[in-house]
A and B are shown apart, each in its own frame.
Chain A
Amino acid sequence: MAKKTKIEVDISRRDFVTVAATAAGSAVVASAVTTGPLSPFGEFKRRQLTGESEEIHPQREVRWGMVVNLDRCIGCEYCLRACSAVNDVAADKPWNIVLEDQTTTGRTFYFSRPCMQCQHAPCVEVCPVQATYVREDGIVMMDYDRCIGCRYCEVACPYDARKFNWDERTDENEYVPTWGHPEVERRPRGVVEKCTFCSHRIDAGVANGLEPGVDREATPACVNACPVNARTFGNLMDPESEIVYTIASNPTVRLREDLGTDPSVFYIPVDEL
């Protein structure tokens, strides 16, 4: 018992070749299947990972975006209320969040935040069932009929923009009818939900020849509700649009640009002094 057991390793050249070939083969298969020219997913990957950016789609005509002017925001939460009424969002988990914040110089300001509608959205990359995707016009959408409720997107989102339906909703929406009427269905228990830039308004508006950002019926509820015009909405691809002018004539930042998510929401920073 005290003697050390001797392990006899008998690996022939053939075994070695088998193992080496297996390892090499798996690497080749993996790269061919995911990225290689023979990949059945190649086109898909190109579309999903890069297809939404301007370089690949130079002819893209529409990318909806928003500018939030933090210097104007007074923290009234009208945007939150209008959003929660129109999208029938639970009061304790707003899609559109308003926080009181402080600059590093100590000045109080209000920081409001919808979904950033990233073009390289981390949530889209991680979803195991493609229940969330970037639309041709740049909006990150949810397919509530496909979501399995694994909440990986919620874990992956850098901006805390996603909310899970832990329970069946039976609450009465406290913002209805004062702040608007629900225009979309409530989401069922067990799926993740998020801000859609009021895509139902955009889609209906565009179909009827309206211009989102100009015509109120086609513009997100939060933008319409703002009493100080802190939010501007429009087409980032249209050089004539108000949003492009606003971005061109003001300093703007996007949140966590270092992550390479390419958000569609721009912020005009608050005056530090």
Chain B
Amino acid sequence: MTSTPVQRRRVTPGLLVWGVLIALLLGVGLLSFYTVFTDGLVVTNLSDSIPWGLWITVDLSAIALGAGAFALSAVVYLFKLDRYRPIVRIAVLVGLIGYTAALLTLVADIGRPDRFWHPWVYWNVHSVLWEITMCITIYLMILTVEFAPTISESRFFNRWPIISRIGHNLHRLAPFLAVAGLMISLLHQSSLGATYGVLKARPIWFKPSMPIMFIVSAIAVGPAITMAAAFIIEWVTGRRTISHDVLRSIARFSGLALLVYLYVRLWDLAVLTYYGSTPGSSSAMSMLSEFTPYGFGFWVGEIILGIIVPVILFLVPRFNRNPLNLVLGAGLAAFGIVVNRWNVTVSGLVVPLSYSPGTAVQLEPGSYSPSIVEWGVVAGVIGYALLIFTLGVLLLPLFKKQGTTPSE
């Protein structure tokens, strides 16, 4: 962790390799998007019994991982914890990336991408999905305004002082934006869980804990991702920009929030399988354990790797002193979120509906594994996320007032 100033505008071999990797991902992505738009969703492995799959998992995960933006903005502008101020810009950048990546995936996922604007015009106020669309639209605007000052301060705009003045004035809105962002985020992060929770026909989804688990997990993991992004920027650029104490306390917060999430998650399991079980939910659970690796994904992916290991890495002093452990913990927690969103989406759909009373025939469980094109779109979206992150780190003043502004 040397702190030699990096010479700007020099393309190192490492950066070149990184650029090639991103270009490859984007190439695969563009090809896959083109296939989806020309050939339609028939190129996916989705079906009428399992109409949602990998892409919805990516949407939900990307939005949850972007939750650091609203949480840390609220911490700084609402609770006035000034020591976290330096990380807000990274948090907002990560949030922007997460939300736009989700929208990008969504455009591939809907059958009529040419009608993406319909929810803005034809309102169904009772639809959770409509509410989420509106919230995400508004929140993306908030994130854009929150991020505008950072862009306006980049060297590119030095020629036009008016732009940085506008940016500076926008920055004064930050506290209000933080309040609005907090409200909207609490709403739609929970509603993403309610998307499943309100469906009374699906016994393992229909429960009030759904939105709570979604919001708690997002609040736990979002800030951890931001923390990991800050460490990675430090390693890559070689500049220590945010004090490790601050990053470690974010990790500690995430560890505690993960414990809360674990608590809710285990109670939810107890309700589903023990005292709240219905004929529908217990047959669904036994079907899942018989035909799918649901149990393995849940215990190993979600609970051990996704919660317990990160909690140890974040909270035990012996481990959390080493930045590598913190980044590893954030990566595992993010992995746990992805596994969770996948488990929620796919397992709920694998279990067939039971609409036929008094009969002996049990419908077969469905099966789904993503097609190559679906993976290709996801690769493209990841490439997009890495590209924006890289450009942000290279070109934008993400660390204001840290003595490393690009005006040397």
CB within 8 Å of B: which residues of A? 1-2, 4-5, 7-12, 15, 18-19, 22, 26, 30, 33-34, 41, 44-45, 48-49, 93, 99-104, 106, 111, 113, 122, 125-131, 146-152, 154-160, 162-168, 189-192, 253, 255-256, 259-260, 269, 272
> Which of B46, B119, B129, B353 is the one whose CB lies under 8 Å from A160?
B353
Q: Is the CB of B127 within 8 A of A128?
A: yes
Q: Is the CB of A26 within 8 A of B183?
A: yes
> Which of A10, A125, A154, A272 is the one whose CB lies under 8 Å from B126?
A125
Interface: B179 (CB within 8 A)? yes
A9 to chain B: which residues have CB within 8 Å?
A: 79, 81
Q: Is the CB of B40 within 8 A of A48?
A: no
Q: Which of A2, A7, A146, A167 has the most CB of B within 10 A?
A: A7
Q: Is the CB of A151 within 8 A of B249?
A: no
Per the bound structure, the CA–CA distance linking A253 and B200 in Å amounts to 19
> Which of B81, B110, B115, B349 is the one whose CB lies under 8 Å from A155?
B349
Q: Is the CB of B52 within 8 A of A151?
A: yes
> Which of A11, A100, A156, A163 is the one whose CB lies under 8 Å from B201?
A156
Interface size on B, residues (CB 8 A): 58
Interface of B is mostly: loop
Q: A-facing mask of B239-265, CB < 8 A → 1, else 0?
A: 000001100110000000000000000
Name 25 A/B residue pairs within 8 A (Cβ), A-sorted: A2-B321, A7-B249, A12-B80, A26-B187, A33-B125, A101-B359, A102-B360, A106-B360, A111-B359, A113-B355, A126-B126, A126-B128, A126-B198, A128-B133, A148-B111, A148-B115, A149-B111, A151-B52, A158-B201, A160-B49, A160-B353, A192-B111, A255-B355, A255-B357, A256-B201
Q: A-facing mask of B320-356, CB < 8 A → 1, else 0?
A: 0100000000000000000000000000010001011
A253 to chain B: which residues have CB within 8 Å?
A: 357
A148 to chain B: which residues have CB within 8 Å?
A: 110-112, 115-116, 118-119
Known: A12-B80, A15-B79. 6 other contacts (CB 8 A): A2-B317, A4-B317, A5-B245, A111-B356, A167-B42, A189-B111
Q: Is the CB of A151 within 8 A of B111?
A: yes
B128 to chain A: which residues have CB within 8 Å?
A: 126
Interface: B182 (CB within 8 A)? yes
Q: Is the CB of A190 within 8 A of B112?
A: yes
Q: Is the CB of B358 within 8 A of A126?
A: no
> Which of A5, A45, A103 is the one whose CB lies under 8 Å from B359?
A103
Q: With A104-B360, A111-B359, A255-B356 in contact, is A165–B111 under 8 Å at CB?
A: yes
CB within 8 Å of A: which residues of B? 39-42, 44, 46, 48-49, 51-52, 78-81, 109-112, 115-116, 118-119, 122-130, 133, 179, 182-183, 186-187, 195, 198-202, 244-245, 248-249, 317, 321, 349, 353, 355-361
> Which of B52, B122, B357, B360 is the one whose CB lies under 8 Å from A131?
B122
Q: Is the CB of A156 within 8 A of B199?
A: yes
Chain A, Cβ-Cβ closest to B243: A5
A149 to chain B: which residues have CB within 8 Å?
A: 41, 110-112, 115
Number of A-B contacts (CB under 8 A): 180
B126 to chain A: which residues have CB within 8 Å?
A: 45, 48-49, 125-126
B353 to chain A: which residues have CB within 8 Å?
A: 158-160
B358 to chain A: which residues have CB within 8 Å?
A: 103-104, 269, 272
Per the bound structure, the CA–CA distance linking A163 and B357 in Å amounts to 23
Per the bound structure, the CA–CA distance linking A190 and B39 in Å amounts to 11
Q: Is the CB of A41 within 8 A of B125?
A: yes
B181 to chain A minimum Cβ distance, whole angstroms, is 11
B46 to chain A: which residues have CB within 8 Å?
A: 166
A97 to chain B minimum Cβ distance, whole angstroms, is 11
A12 to chain B: which residues have CB within 8 Å?
A: 80
Q: Is the CB of A259 within 8 A of B201?
A: yes
> Which of A4, A49, A158, A168 is the one whose CB lies under 8 Å from B200?
A158
Q: With A166-B42, A256-B201 in contact, is A44–B125 under 8 Å at CB?
A: yes
Q: Is the CB of B42 within 8 A of A157?
A: no
Chain A, Cβ-Cβ closest to B253: A7
Per the bound structure, the CA–CA distance linking A272 and B357 in Å amounts to 12
B123 to chain A: which residues have CB within 8 Å?
A: 130
B118 to chain A: which residues have CB within 8 Å?
A: 128-129, 131, 146, 148
A168 to chain B: which residues have CB within 8 Å?
A: 40
A190 to chain B: which residues have CB within 8 Å?
A: 40-41, 110-112
B321 to chain A: which residues have CB within 8 Å?
A: 1-2
Per the bound structure, the CA–CA distance linking A260 and B201 in Å amounts to 10
Per the bound structure, the CA–CA distance linking A241 and B323 in Å amounts to 77
B186 to chain A: which residues have CB within 8 Å?
A: 26
Q: With A15-B80, A155-B51 in contact, is A128–B356 under 8 Å at CB?
A: no
Chain A, Cβ-Cβ closest to B116: A148
Q: Is the CB of A126 within 8 A of B48?
A: no
Q: Is the CB of A129 within 8 A of B119?
A: yes
Per the bound structure, the CA–CA distance linking A12 and B39 in Å amounts to 58
Q: With A4-B317, A151-B52, A190-B112 in contact, is A160–B355 under 8 Å at CB?
A: yes
Per the bound structure, the CA–CA distance linking A130 and B115 in Å amounts to 13
Q: With A102-B361, A104-B360, A166-B40 in contact, is A157–B201 under 8 Å at CB?
A: yes
